[in-house]
Amino acid sequence: MNSNRCSGARWSIGILALAMAIMVMPAVAGAQAPAAPPPGQAPPAGGPPPGANNMKAPYAPFHIIGNIYYIGSKGLACYLITTPAGNILLDTGYPDMAPQIEGNIQTLGFKLTDTKILLNSHAHIDHGGGMAEFKTATGGQLVGMAEDAPYFESGGHNDVMFGDRNLFPPVHVDRVIHDKDTVTLGGVTLTAHLTPGHTPGNTTWTMVTTDKGKSYNVVFFGIVTPFPNTNFTGNPLYPNLKADWQKTMDVLPTLKCDIFLGSNAAFYNMEQKHDALLANADPNPFIDPAGCKAFVDRGEATFQNLLTNPPPAGGPGMGGPPPPPAGGTK
């Protein structure tokens, strides 16, 4: 199966093939030190998890809409948001993807050193692991949600899900932000929405972009769907796990969404929409409020199902072992 062709409804297959491989640790909120992973549930230490290579596969960068460009890999979305005063980077992929993402920026005709601000969806190796390199390469300032800032600063140490199994180069957070804080550059403003659960500081970003004379509300979703082995009450180290996810579920429907984007390409059928864009689809296929609502509704349905049918607790804060991914892994 090609995860990049996944329907939105099947992101839990394509992405889960990767995600479940690495999501085997309990989610733990707050500053409490997480317990070590149960040995039988931990993937091999070191290196990317199975499926990562496909997620990292190069993808030609392209203009999405307005002042927003896709510069990520096939699976791991990264964005460049341009302004008259310089550019904003959102997410980096894995640390070793830095040359690929930097090359994508340059392929589009932008200078790395014009990147003034570095944003992230959350402090995990596969989305923000390259921040240290990008700070060096661009001179940009890293902005991070307060609840995730410690994990950037420590390079993923004591991660709430991974323990120390997915470490990345530590990086200083230049500006620590909180829920609903904004980031402005060159007249472009992004708002940070705390959508916790996947990580304590998981962030969904919103902005307005203008294209062909029309303004659109853009949502860059973080990871906002619980994984199907999540047991909300099984982790004594994370008493607020359920409440955190509930907050996320409460926030998401309130976000105005015309342009549907996110931290994983499969969330919003990136490749399919890009193909349509290349075929001169009009209107721009990334304008997808219905798809956006369906994505949010699926997350809510997953959350509610986990509440009513909790998986057996297989360890602190988690359910049993992840189910085998349907449709094969990659």
Region of 228 (left: φ > 0; alpha: ψ -120 to 50; beta: rest) is alpha
Tell me the closest approach of the beta carbon of residue 299 to Zn ion, in angstroms: 15
**b/e map 93-115, b = 16+ CB within 10 Å:** bbbebbebbbebbeebebebebb
> What is the C-alpha separation between 42 and 34, in angstroms, rounded?
14
Task: Select the span of 118-126, 140-148, 233-241, 291-299 touching Zn ion (CB under 5 A).
Answer: 118-126
Task: Select the span of 91-99, 121-129, 141-149, 236-244 touching Zn ion (CB under 5 A).
Answer: 121-129
Which contiguous run of DSSP H or E holds residue 242? Answer: helix 241-251
**Closer by beta carbon to Zn ion, 27 or else 132:** 27
Angle at 318 (CA atoms; ends 316, 322), nearest 5 degrees: 135
**Closer by beta carbon to Zn ion, 124 or else 135:** 124
Tell me the closest approach of the beta carbon of residue 285 to Zn ion, in angstroms: 26
Site for Zn ion in 223-282 (CB under 5 A): none
**Closer by beta carbon to Zn ion, 67 or else 199:** 199
**Closer by beta carbon to Zn ion, 74 or else 124:** 124
- Please give the residue whose beta carbon sits closest to Zn ion in the complex: 124
Residue 266 and residue 14 in contact, taking contact as beta carbons nearer than 8 Å: yes
Q: What is the 3-class SS of 53-83, one letter each residue?
A: HHHCCCCCCEEEECCEEECCCCCECCEEEEE
Tell me the closest approach of the beta carbon of residue 127 to Zn ion, in angstroms: 6
Task: Select the span of 7-15, 116-124, 131-139, 150-158 touching Zn ion (CB under 5 A).
Answer: 116-124
> What is the C-alpha separation between 324 and 98, in angstroms, rounded?
31
**Closer by beta carbon to Zn ion, 145 or else 185:** 145
Tell me the closest approach of the beta carbon of residue 16 to Zn ion, in angstroms: 12
86-90: strand order across its sheet? 62-65, 68-70, 79-83, 86-90, 115-119, 141-145, 175-177
Tell me the closest approach of the beta carbon of residue 198 to Zn ion, in angstroms: 6
**Closer by beta carbon to Zn ion, 124 or else 165:** 124
Verify binding: residue 165, Zn ion, rule CB under 5 A.
no
Tell me the closest approach of the beta carbon of residue 166 to Zn ion, in angstroms: 9
Binding letters toward Zn ion, positions 297-316, x by CB under 5 A: --------------------
Task: Name residue 97's amino acid.
Answer: M
# chain residues binding Zn ion, by CB under 5 A: 1
Tell me the closest approach of the beta carbon of residue 263 to Zn ion, in angstroms: 8
Tell me the closest approach of the beta carbon of residue 156 to Zn ion, in angstroms: 10
**Closer by beta carbon to Zn ion, 270 or else 287:** 270
**Closer by beta carbon to Zn ion, 66 or else 319:** 319
What does residue 271 show for φ and ψ, rounded to 5 degrees? Answer: -65, -40
Six-digit token string for 298: 């699926």
In DSSP terms, 175 is beta-bridged to 143
Candidate list 74, 124, 135, 193; residue touching Zn ion; CB under 5 A? 124
**Closer by beta carbon to Zn ion, 124 or else 274:** 124
Tell me the closest approach of the beta carbon of residue 167 to Zn ion, in angstroms: 14
Q: What number of other Cβ atoms are within 10 A of residue 62's Cβ?
A: 15
Residue 61 and residue 273 in contact, taking contact as beta carbons nearer than 8 Å: no
In DSSP terms, 228 is beta-bridged to none
Task: Select the span of 28-36, 48-56, 124-132, 189-197 touching Zn ion (CB under 5 A).
Answer: 124-132
In angstroms, the Cα distances linking 12 to 127, 148, 264, 322 are 17, 24, 11, 12
Q: Which residues bind Zn ion (CB under 5 A)?
A: 124
